[in-house]
Chain A
């Protein structure tokens, strides 16, 4: 794979040098209706005198060429799927003959008057058309691009779009899109234009890694909103357009095997299934139930090592239409099973009480073994009653099961630390099984009541659930310096008071929504005006339960060595026998959102104007498990927003648009952030608490963009944007009610400004393609921070100082570069993609200048596909070719060398005067080899 890269570049250079001038037939194959090129169409040349045939395929820009043609008369014919053949005659006489062919799309009369177009959105062409013709500012990625890209999940696809970076989970998989440097909360995820609930307790919107890339037809990234769209997308929206039923019978089969370099290096630990109960004993038996040891399974701590598990990728799509073309169906099944390891180093830090410099308090080595099993079934069925009425039913079921084994060895750097390799050590073998499921059903109707009046409606029911079981064993040991000078390794024993902890977390999120839109297109003052109005209502109910149980060691047997088999240890359930019923993570939350809008659209001369206003009313309420003796057992929050928007599209020419837009948007806090819980993610570095006073963020967004489409497949986009965000929501560390610890709380922080520039270039030359984008983003937010210092009286204390910084997660520079090669004749596609993500704040510190930053990185992915037999293709993908690490640091120098245990002590990875090292994770390469079958 690695050898192919220089070869590609060489080829690239060679082709541009070709200049033949004799006996040549060349031309372009374009769609007869709209003039779009038809890349990959087959062109056959038949000599009228000899009957001899030659064929080639059109390049990415629709061009073809035949060279060294003997003089004579030829018939030339172009074939393209779903198009009628087009042919012409040509006489060659030692010259260059230019023959342009224009096949006409096959289409039924039904299609001609269809309410919505059924042209395949899967091609790059349609993706670019979507950008070109849309009423708003958007970027799009086609299914075809995804297929030949190295990406296997939607999240990875999104990072190829300008202005987007992704936030990865701890196994290196992309999970959330960060649009224009704004935190994931500011972006919503839609399927076919409709929201789906999230199984994630901390987020409203679904993680993108739950979707296999091959179920979608096109990925659209909206960077501005129209009144008909829901308004809670300050950064923008991501819309997954699922595949539509095709006119002709279609079948695609994809089968692949994957393997991870890290798993090959470190092996893979699997753990047993819980043979007792996946839900907590309290939930099953009621709040008064007193659990015993017998209620818990040890299987989560039974490990078996599998040397090199092989991953699987399989996909099947079948679709078609009845003979009368009225009923269409498309069903996609997808299965992925991936094994990955992550090896990392992490420093817990606090600040020195006098110098305010970062002070590492422990060093952790972490090994994760993660298995992700994604299964999905997506079906789309439509029925066209006649040219004016159509019903579409979408049904989707998506399941993501994750098994993760983690081993952490944590060495304290403050206590019992007298040199490198010494200190008190805690070790934690931990396993987590997390199962997320999403069910989504929607019924959509389109009705054309009159030539200038149509309505459409949608009813959506969806439900997302997540169940997580966590089994954590706490072990202690130490390597301590003895007064004799020896360093003694203590035996590995079970932590008597923290022992074996099991948590049970379950939550479900259910949406019932209805949408109705009316579109009226009268002629006013001789201009066709599109007026639309509509509304939506969504009832969302979220339910969360959480319990934690800790098995501890009996007083009479409090020093037990751990030999690797938990069954050899004796535990008792002596503390939380009833779980944690009072935890506010046990809650029910209801949110009702009602919205209405009015929108107009008309074109005068070269200027298209679209605008209107949207009204959204939000009503939230909750009931949690806190006792009445505490604040926040119940609560309700209500507010409304009036969200105007207007966008102008000025057609500078056929190929050029100039766009300007304004829209107002909001971002609602996550339920988890509002409900007054005081615990939560046990994996978080800090305890998290809820904030009932959290406000929704509001923003004014301005965009200006120039678009140039020199050829149908080429594009050049350049734009600037500015966002003014009121009450942006960020996490900050604050003191807990007891002052004992710092806790993490979501809060509103004044006003933030976010502005930037985006550049997007796509260029195709015959078989070669080049895609690049770059974005520059700058943001500012001012928050108060603490600074530790010693006062005049010699007391260590803290003062408050204001600090201005970029938004969390915002990189100043983002860049993407992809090189493509595509030859339909030989059936070879290849792509190499690089992504540059500039440094960005990973987490905000309570202390001045102590924010944790993620280091800038470049990741490189490679993929290729080759036809081996008619409709059978072999493909290969390599992700993370450069083994790009995930690195965190604090932009403050590690203090000068000092005594062990003190700030500035000698530690691996830290260098005096250099930025303080916080974390480094390596994911290594992932390889996939597979087969595609396309019918």
Chain B
């Protein structure tokens, strides 16, 4: 009898060990709903759209609009695109999601405006030194990223963003469910523009940015060409005019910047793209930056941080809380710099022309080609129409609330930042280097790169450079 059982045991034992069976998961997960794009048929935009906004016309949108992968939204010149947002909730503060190509072709004569309905009123309040509503954050900005992969389109490529002669203003409303949490943590302020696509181009030329609640433009990867723009009054209690991160390569030149909360340009390799953030920053004029940032250890004009590399030449940095800042965690050995022109009203500003927390090797090797002093009020850059000593930075070293900053020191207004013929900045620029030219396309849908100029700052004495 035992034999029967012994055989049974053997057979059962072997059989059991071999019989384990695990079914592969049958997974059914809902995919992102992609709606077919509609053409533009009325002056009120909504849902998923593609096509052309016609020259000289005004368009409105009060809910999110989306441009699908492969589609294009093109603004001809003289277009006003008005966001109808209250800035209270994400749902009532619309955003433009671009998974395809975004083109805004304003012209010098007929610029475009992407702004809010009460823009004139907000500008008027700013002129009264009342910035509460300027920094309120009324709409959700423009977000350019590739679409979510789907079965139909497993590798969406996204598209370029080409922005010329365009005013973009007053973004910063809280983000919501439609936003990618990896860009905007739920409820945080959105930017005027976010671009994240390391294979595509971001071209911003001759445009104006104003009144973002936090960062104005953030770039999470891409080939960029940021030329001849004007950046004014962005960031309530912190935020950069242009904040570029890992995967971003390109030139930032001939921009005029005034009144940023923190930096005008922050170049950082933070993130995980594997493409080292590299920027060439030249011939920019930067005024009065960094005073509203309430946290210490930040910058006020140009920052190279965390693994970033690149070049910084010919920048005119006036009364910024911190000057050129190349931190010890940047790839500082590969940041080239020189021919900067620094001016400081107070000793505190002068002491930070090269930010004191910069990499020791940078602090030990300040460029000999700079125009720099060790005492306040030396080397006035001699602007056509701007008094560099109109505000007492000694009494207000920062951080300060926006309400303490006069309108004139945070916006262009009626000032003129061209250099007088007597300025020391003329002919001190380094013109013998080639920009990165990461964006290779040229023409209407490409970039027009202005090469490094002989005069320091954004405005060249021969009329080239920034055209505003």
Contact = CB atoms under 8 A, between A and B. Distances in A.
Report the 8 A-B pairs with minimum CB-CB distance, sorted nearest first.
Answer: A582-B177, A576-B187, A901-B328, A416-B297, A424-B297, A483-B351, A678-B181, A478-B296
A27 interface: no
Nearest to B8: A609
Q: Which of A557, A629, A666 has the most CB of B within 10 A?
A: A629
Given A482-B351, A556-B132, A611 B13 contact: yes
Given A797-B274, A900-B328, 19 more contacts: A290-B89, A361-B329, A527-B5, A552-B237, A555-B237, A556-B401, A576-B174, A582-B177, A626-B177, A631-B148, A633-B30, A642-B21, A645-B16, A662-B17, A678-B180, A737-B180, A737-B182, A901-B329, A902-B329
A738 B196 contact: yes
A447 interface: no
Interface stretch (A233-241, A493-501, A917-925): A493-501
Interface string B1-37: 1101110010011011101111111111111110000
For chain B, the bracket of interface size reads 35 or more
A229 to B, nearest CB: 15
A95 interface: no
Contacts of B1: 525-527
B117 interface: no
Contacts of A434: none
A476 interface: yes
A849 B45 CA distance: 52
Interface in B131-160: 131-132, 135-137, 145, 148
A679 B28 contact: no
Interface string B296-311: 1110000001110100
Contacts of B273: 735, 739
8 contacts: A361-B329, A415-B357, A496-B237, A576-B187, A612-B16, A638-B25, A740-B220, A797-B275
A162 interface: no
A579 interface: yes
Nearest to A735: B272
Interface stretch (A207-215, A370-378, A692-700, A755-763): A692-700
A578 B90 contact: yes
Contact of A899 (B182, B328, B401): B328
Q: Which of B13, B270, B402 has the most CB of A within 10 A?
A: B13
B245 A415 contact: no
Contacts of A645: 16
A554 B403 CA distance: 11
A549 B174 CA distance: 11
A532 to B, nearest CB: 15
Interface in B238-293: 238, 245-247, 269-276, 278, 292
Interface of A: 290, 353, 361, 412, 414-418, 423-424, 476-478, 480-484, 490, 493, 495-497, 525-527, 548-550, 552-559, 574-583, 602, 604-605, 607, 609, 611-613, 625-646, 648, 662, 664, 666, 676, 678-679, 687, 692-693, 695-696, 698, 700, 726, 735-743, 794-798, 899-902, 905
A78 B188 CA distance: 76
Nearest to B272: A735
B23 A640 contact: yes
Contact of B274 (A484, A605, A738, A798): A798
Q: Which of A477, A631, A698 has the most CB of B within 10 A?
A: A631
B65 to A, nearest CB: 12
B186 A902 contact: no
B30 A423 contact: no
A629 B178 contact: yes
Given A582-B176, A796-B276, A900-B328, A641 B238 contact: no
Contacts of B292: 558
Contact of B356 (A481, A609, A640, A902): A481
B119 to A, nearest CB: 18
Contacts of B179: 582
Contact of B187 (A482, A548, A626, A737): A548
B360 interface: yes
Contact of B27 (A484, A637, A666): A637
Given A555-B131, A582-B177, A629-B33, A417 B328 contact: yes
Contact of B24 (A550, A611, A639, A664): A639
B181 A635 contact: no
A434 to B, nearest CB: 21
Given A559-B399, A737-B180, A414 B306 contact: yes
A796 B25 contact: no
Contacts of A526: 1
A740 B401 contact: no
B239 to A, nearest CB: 9
Interface string B415-428: 00000000000000
A99 to B, nearest CB: 43
Contact of A639 (B25, B148, B271, B359): B25
Contacts of B214: 497
Nearest to A660: B13
Contacts of B104: none
B312 to A, nearest CB: 18
B210 to A, nearest CB: 16
B27 A739 contact: no
B331 interface: yes
B177 A607 contact: no
Q: Which of B12, B357, B359 has the most CB of A within 10 A?
A: B357
A646 B185 contact: no
A634 B178 contact: no
Contacts of B460: none
Contacts of A423: 297
Contacts of A637: 25-28
Q: Which of A423, A611, A612 has the most CB of B within 10 A?
A: A611
